[in-house]
Amino acid sequence: MKVVQPSCPSCLIKALSFFSELDTFDLLNLNNNKICNFYKKGHIVFYEGRIPTGIYCLEQGLVKIYRVGIDGKEQIVRFSTPGSLLGIRSLLSEERYTASAATLEDSVICFINKSFFFHLINKYPKMNVEIVSYLCRKLKEAEDKIISIAQKPVRERLAESLLILNRIYKPNGKSVSKPKILLSREDLANILGTATETVSRLLHELKDENLISIEGRSITLTDIEGLKHTAKIFE
Amino acid sequence: MKVVQPSCPSCLIKALSFFSELDTFDLLNLNNNKICNFYKKGHIVFYEGRIPTGIYCLEQGLVKIYRVGIDGKEQIVRFSTPGSLLGIRSLLSEERYTASAATLEDSVICFINKSFFFHLINKYPKMNVEIVSYLCRKLKEAEDKIISIAQKPVRERLAESLLILNRIYKPNGKSVSKPKILLSREDLANILGTATETVSRLLHELKDENLISIEGRSITLTDIEGLKHTAKIFE
DNA sequence: CCCAAAATTTGACCTAGGTCATTTTTTAAG
DNA sequence: CTTAAAAAATGACCTAGGTCAAATTTTGGG
């Protein structure tokens, strides 16, 4: 796969969020300052404990943010999808990364160094507003996850996570076909905070109930409403 | 108990955080705009689902932020201690409260209405920096909690929570005596995401191991290092 | 296309911790 | 100080889901 150097002025990330305020001059500036890399599936973007030297911008692909517990067991705390910034939390609070990031698919990720990013924030105070709203959203999601893990049985959490993953894997609304969730049982287990064997068994159950279909490693949701029901999500 | 109307210019909250930038004029303004109320222990500050109309400022006391699950079971997601703002997450992301807040002790809480608060943020963009750093801290804590609940057995989580509570209950460094943690078993269970009976049993265990002492409802930590050890916290 | 290594599935078994019922203790109102 | 109601402790029991081991399937490199 070729590494395509994306150009900032035409980058979807600009439109999506944090950089929407930038004028042409600074967009070009950003373009020159960023370093863009191709990451193969399964590669690590940054490690827990390291000191951030800048910020990563996911241009294409999918990334998991996770921490490793004492016994070496991973816990996935969130995902990053194209258009979001990676490592912003640690950079902003000027502390070491408290989590690691690794690609779940082949990905293209840009790097913007700390001083340039802070320069932009100072020049465009409105970026802080975007950042605040981003953090609020993440905080809410984290709290949702606390409730979920603390109160729901694994089966419900699995259904819930599949519904969330379905949105993450949904190709930008273009394709008519249903999204395929492509994750190892281990990653799935590390989202739910359970064992891989339990994931296997429960996926089998959901399949038997015609809520999902499984082809090899890929999962397709066939009955969204049914899954919402087993996840006990009522909106 | 008398309701003392605290004055903003001398309020510790100003010094602590968000309002540290304000000039004398705006501090007086804030003083006139805020409404201060006394809340008896156990009373509700705001309810999940309601639309925020402003922000609360905890001047004195202790507040739990919690959500109620489908089966009516509470999950405490965090605490607020004097000097912190309540309901800032929902106000900033312009959505309904996703959690309720209730006092755990008699408390004094000020209310600042939305428009005035936003006016201040606009006038003092640096407040956003404070807010960002606050949100980063909370996000980290929330992610810590996810790992903890997902991976640690209840016993470890209890030890961990007691250590955190010990800091929360620590009177401003003045008193030499050890802080007393004063929470119902139910609240404790709702922090850990477990049953009250389990809390009872485990507290009894910790007491037998001379890690804590219990007088009535109040818990004192007698062996911090030992607790860190059972919590598997190694720093 | 082939094959070894890795991932997944399945079965057997076990335990942390949840639930329910009962007793004991604590609390707060009068 | 008394007492009823609430909270906590304790015991008995049970099950969701973890662990370990073995069989089966999938995958990616050559």
CA distances from A131 to A10, A17, A20, B135 (A): 21, 9, 12, 10
**pLDDT 10s digits, B87-119:** 999 999 999 999 999 999 999 999 999 999 999
CA distances from B110 to B64, B88, B141 (A): 16, 13, 25
CA–CA gap between residue A182 and residue A180 (Å, rounded): 6
Contacts of A32 (CB under 8 A, 6+ apart): none
Share of chain B above pLDDT 90, in %: 70
Residue B212 has, within 13 A of its CA and on its CB side, a CA count of 29
A28-42, B42-56, B67-81, B175-189 — which one is most confidently predicted on average? B42-56
- Smallest CA-to-CA distance from A107 within A44, A23, A167 is with A44
In which band, very low, low, confident or very high, does the pLDDT at B177 lie, cut at 50, 70 and 90? confident
pLDDT at position B37: 92
**pLDDT 10s digits, A98-117:** 999 999 999 999 999 999 99
Worst-scoring range by mean pLDDT, A58-67, A72-81, B170-179? B170-179
What is residue B178's DSSP assignment? Answer: P
In which band, very low, low, confident or very high, does the pLDDT at B2 lie, cut at 50, 70 and 90? very low
In which band, very low, low, confident or very high, does the pLDDT at A7 lie, cut at 50, 70 and 90? confident
In which band, very low, low, confident or very high, does the pLDDT at A146 lie, cut at 50, 70 and 90? very high
User: Which residues of B sit within 8 Å Cβ distance of A?
Assistant: 67, 69-71, 73, 75, 77, 89, 92-93, 98-99, 125, 128-129, 131-133, 135-140, 142-143, 145-147, 149-151, 192-193, 232
Cβ of A136 within 8 Å of Cβ of B135? The answer is yes
Which nucleotide, over all strands, has the C1' atom closest to the CA of A196? C8
Across the A:B interface, residue pairs with CB atoms under 8 Å apart total 101
Strand D lies under 7 A from the Cβ of residue A198: yes
Contacts of B64 (CB under 8 A, 6+ apart): B76, B78, B79, B80, B101, B102, B104, B187
Asked if pLDDT for residue A204 goes beyond 90, the answer is yes
Which residues from A are below 8 Å from B98, CB to CB? 140, 143
State the pairing for strand pair B54-60/B107-113. Answer: antiparallel
Which two tokens mark A221? 């949701």
Question: Pseudo-torsion of CA B205, B209, B215, B219, nearest 10°?
Answer: -80
In what helix (H) or strand (E) does residue B100 lie, and over which residues does it extend?
strand B100-103
pLDDT at position B116: 96
Which two tokens mark B13? 């909250």
Nucleotides of D under 7 A from a protein CB: 7-12, 16-21, 26-27
Mean pLDDT for A67-71 is 83
Mean pLDDT for B37-54 is 94
Asked if pLDDT for residue A75 goes beyond 90, the answer is yes
